[in-house]
Amino acid sequence: MRLLISGGGTGGHIYPALALIEQLKKRDPQAAVLYVGTHRGLENKIVPAAGIDFKTIEIQGFKRSLSLENFKTVYLFLKSVETAKKIIRDFKPDVVVGTGGYVCGAVVYAAARMHIPTFIHEQNSIAGVTNKFLSHFVDRIGICFPEAANEFPEKKVVFTGNPRAQQVANIQPTNYLEKLGLNPNKPTVLIFGGSRGARRINEATVAALKNFADKPYQVLFVTGSVHYQKIKQLINNLPTNVVVEPYIENMPQILPEISCIVGRAGATSLAEITALGIPSILIPSPYVTHDHQTHNAQSLVKISAAVMIREDQLDEAILTKEIDRLLADQKLRSQMAKKAKTAGVPDAADQVLRQLQAISK
């Protein structure tokens, strides 16, 4: 198979694409893959570092308010469609995949106009603007949350899950907790607001640190590199059962050792949580488009697989209360873990690949 794939801007669009590519290469080592992104997005660093052929186009997203910049956006879109057509003609893909972000809008649209089989993947419960636009032109649409189906043409939609889930489902423990000075045999809660950290989660956690002393569990608090030095200055007399780290390079490797996660409700995070069956306390970011993280979180809350705390309700007391409740009750955590696994698709990457093979015949 010759696969051209595009998606960028955030890790939520990039990591499912990388997981799909990894699974394709396992099944077909001779498969040819080309990734198209922008030079400004995270994909510009992440994709080449993964050893994947990478090309860029110049494009930008629409401003949500009236702005003269949107005229430039239209011009760049039309220009990037022509650039994408040239890339497609040169690479000659069997199928073109978009995983979200405005960069894939031009690439997948160009492929559809050239009558090349096309597939888009929507990771969130509420569809992004680019995927809504592309849904009118593509052959098939993969979703991760049943709620997203209502936003697309019904006949094109298939429930595939997130390819990232398959990538982490079989990860084995690596004794990472012991390397950090924690007890691998003790229940552990991971508090993590994302790679850059989350200010409100960090503030509530710093205030709650004293409450964790002498608990029958331990805490791994990952602040995000941007916030680490400031937080270290605020911490006095850190309890012995708490470890504070700025960042963990390969976060999935530690997840099999975690008893409970406190964090955001991004699509990639939820794919990892459901793949491994980890109970979670979700604090959705209120700053994302259409508040989609809240809707993501609610999909797990309604099946009793997670607890949700809204950011405007988050404080030291409620954070401590919910962590205490989950970490003190092994039976509850086991029930939540089973429910979480039912929400995931452990062979999600294979599900997507089957769809690609079907439309590219």
Q: Where are the alpha helices (H) located in 114-195, listed in sequence order?
A: 129-134, 163-169, 176-179
Does 241 appear as a known binding residue?
no
Is 62 within 8 Å of 55 (Cβ atoms)? no
Q: Is 248 marked within a binding site?
A: yes
User: What is the SS3 assignment for 73?
Assistant: helix
C-beta contacts of 29-34 below 8 A and 24+ residues apart:
31/1, 31/2, 31/3, 32/1, 32/2, 32/3, 32/91, 33/2, 33/3, 33/4, 33/5, 34/3, 34/4, 34/5, 34/87, 34/91, 34/93
Long-range own/partner contacts, residues 227-233 (CB < 8 A, 24 or more apart): 227/197, 227/199, 227/202, 228/197, 231/202, 231/206
Q: Is 11 assigned to a binding site?
A: yes
The answer to the question of whether 124 is labelled as a binding residue is yes
**What is the spatial distance between Cα 161 and Cα 16, in angstroms, rounded to a whole number?**
10
Does the annotation flag 293 for ligand binding?
A: yes
User: Half-sphere exposure (CA, 13 Å, Cβ side) for 220?
Assistant: 27
Give Cα 155 to chain centroid, integer Å: 26
* One-letter identity of residue 86: K
- Long-range interactions of 298-303: CB distance < 8 A, separation 24+: 298/125, 299/125, 299/145, 299/146, 299/147, 299/270, 299/343, 300/270, 300/273, 300/274, 300/339, 300/340, 300/343, 303/339, 303/342, 303/343
CA nearest to 19, candidates 312, 309, 361, 350 = 350
Binding residues: 10-12, 124, 195, 248, 293
Binding residues for UDP-N-acetyl-alpha-D-glucosamine: 10-12, 124, 195, 248, 293
